[in-house]
C-alpha cells in the first residue's frame, strides 16, 4: 500500500496561513513571495524533501514544455529563489515534479447555485499538518493576466482560487503510477486563473494543454456554468450538469475509472464521496450556509480527521462568484469558523 509520510502534529493554536498581497511581473511576484518568507527566517529549499535523481531528471525533461508555453511560471520560480536566497535548482525540481511524484494532496470540491442565483464553489484542502505554517492565501495581481485570489500548500502553483472575471477553480489530486511529461495540477490551476474568464475557456485550454499529472478540476463561473474535468496525460473527460457537482480524490466517470490507483491512502476518499452524494444529490441548488455545513462535516464525514495521523483539513473556502467574495476557514472547519475576507479584485 502506498501511504503518505506523516509527521507529528504541531500545536494547532500556533498555526495560521500566510496572507500575501503580490503584484507585478512574474519575477517581481516571485521575489516578493520569497522575500516574505526570508524575513521570517525561512529558507524555502530547506523545507523541501530531498530531491531524488528521478525527480531531477523529470524536472530537467519537463522544463522545456514550461519554457515554450508558460515561461512566466519559470520566471516566478527564479524570482522566488532570488527573493528568498534559497537553492533555485531544488525549488525548480520540486515544483515542476509536484503532483507527478507526490501522493499526499487530498481534497473535496463542490460547485452549485445558491437560492439567490449566485454560483458557488467550495473546497476543503486536506494535507500534511507538519507544513501547515507554510501554506498561503494570496491576492495576486499580475502585470499581464487576470488578478485572482488563491490558496496553496506550495509556491507559484495554486490549488483553488477565483479570478476577477468570476471564474473559480478547485483541484483534487489523483495519484498515478505512470509518469508523463507535462504541466502539473497546481500549475494548471494557476494558469486557468490567470488566463481564462469562463468555464468554456478553461475547458478549451485544458483540452489543448499537455498535462502531466492526474486530477480533477471543478470549474464554475459567474454566469452559472459549472463542470468537473477529469483528466490525465492520456484523456480529458468533461462532466457538466445543472445539478450540484462534487469531486474527491478519484475519477467517477466510466471512461476514467480505470485510471484510479489501487491500494493508496487517499484520506477517506470513498467516505467523502458517499457524504457528498447523500448531502448534495437531492437538490440542484445550495445555500452558503448549507455548503458550509457540508464542508464542516455536519452532513457526514468530510473533514473529521484524527490529527495524530499527521493529516487534516488545513483550510476550507467558499467562493461566491456573483459577489466576487471569499469565505475562508483558516484550518479545519469542524473546529474553526469561516470568515469573510475583505479583498478587492479589479473588475
Q: What is the mean pLDDT of residues 134-138?
A: 95
Rounded to 5°, angle at Cα 195 from 324 and 60? 130
Q: Return the H-helix or E-strand segment holding 171.
A: strand 167-174
pLDDT at 209: 97
Cα–Cα distance, 317 to 134 (Å, whole number):
17
Q: What is the pLDDT of residues 156-206, one digit of tens each?
A: 999 999 999 999 999 999 998 889 999 999 999 999 999 999 999 999 999
Q: Where do the domains of the chain lie?
A: 20-97, 106-340
Residue 263 predicted with pLDDT over 90: no
CATH entry, 106-340, from 3.40.50.12280, 3.30.360.10, 3.60.60.10, 3.40.50.10110: 3.60.60.10
DSSP label of 13: G
Report how far residue 294's alpha carbon sits from residue 296's, in angstroms, rounded to the nearest whole number: 5
Beta bridge mates, 329: 316
CB-neighbour burial class of residue 247 (10 A; exposed 0-12, middle 13-18, buried 19+): buried
Residue 216 near residue 231 (C-beta atoms within 8 A): yes
Q: How far is CA 89 from the centre of its chain?
A: 23
Tens of pLDDT, residues 228-262: 999 999 999 999 998 999 999 999 999 999 999 88
303 torsion bin: left (phi>0), alpha (psi -120 to 50), beta (else): alpha
**Three cell numbers at 225?**
456554468
Assign residue 225 a region: left if phi > 0, alpha if psi is -120 to 50, beta otherwise?
Answer: beta
pLDDT at 130 exceeding the cut of 90: no
Amino acid at each position: 500500500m502506498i501511504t503518505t509520510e506523516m509527521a507529528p502534529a504541531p500545536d494547532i493554536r500556533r498555526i495560521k496561513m500566510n496572507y500575501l498581497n503580490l503584484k507585478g511581473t512574474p519575477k517581481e511576484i516571485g521575489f516578493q513571495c520569497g522575500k516574505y518568507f526570508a524575513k521570517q527566517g525561512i529558507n524555502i529549499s530547506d523545507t523541501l524533501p530531498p530531491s531524488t535523481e528521478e525527480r531531477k531528471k523529470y524536472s530537467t525533461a519537463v522544463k522545456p514544455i514550461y519554457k515554450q508555453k508558460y515561461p512566466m511560471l519559470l520566471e516566478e520560480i527564479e524570482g522566488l529563489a532570488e527573493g528568498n536566497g534559497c537553492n533555485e535548482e531544488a525549488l525548480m525540481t520540486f515544483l515542476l515534479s509536484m503532483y507527478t511524484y507526490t501522493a499526499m494532496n487530498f481534497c473535496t470540491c463542490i460547485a452549485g447555485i445558491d437560492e439567490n442565483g449566485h454560483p458557488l464553489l467550495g473546497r476543503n484542502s486536506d494535507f500534511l499538518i507538519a507544513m501547515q505554517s507554510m501554506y498561503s492565501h494570496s491576492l495576486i495581481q499580475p502585470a499581464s493576466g487576470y488578478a485572482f485570489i488563491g490558496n496553496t500548500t506550495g509556491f507559484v502553483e495554486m490549488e483553488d482560487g477565483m479570478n476577477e472575471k468570476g471564474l473559480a477553480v478547485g483541484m483534487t489530486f489523483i495519484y498515478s503510477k505512470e509518469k508523463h511529461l507535462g504541466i502539473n495540477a497546481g500549475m494548471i490551476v494557476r494558469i486557468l486563473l490567470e488566463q481564462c474568464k469562463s468555464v468554456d475557456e478553461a475547458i478549451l485550454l485544458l483540452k489543448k494543454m499537455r498535462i502531466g499529472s492526474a486530477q480533477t478540476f471543478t470549474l464554475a463561473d459567474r454566469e452559472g456554468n459549472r463542470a468537473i474535468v477529469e483528466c490525465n496525460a492520456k484523456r480529458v473527460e468533461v462532466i457538466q450538469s445543472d445539478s450540484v457537482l462534487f469531486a474527491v480524490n478519484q475519477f467517477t466517470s466510466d471512461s476514467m475509472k480505470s485510471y484510479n490507483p489501487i491500494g493508496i491512502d487517499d484520506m477517506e476518499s470513498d467516505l467523502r464521496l458517499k457524504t457528498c452524494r447523500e448531502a448534495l444529490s437531492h437538490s440542484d441548488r445550495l445555500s452558503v450556509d448549507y455548503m458550509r455545513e457540508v464542508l464542516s462535516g455536519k452532513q457526514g464525514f468530510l473533514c473529521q480527521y484524527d490529527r495524530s495521523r499527521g493529516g487534516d483539513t488545513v483550510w476550507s473556502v467558499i467562493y461566491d462568484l456573483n459577489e466576487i467574495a471569499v469565505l475562508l476557514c483558516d484550518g479545519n472547519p469542524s473546529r474553526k469558523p469561516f470568515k469573510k475576507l475583505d479583498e478587492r479584485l479589479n473588475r
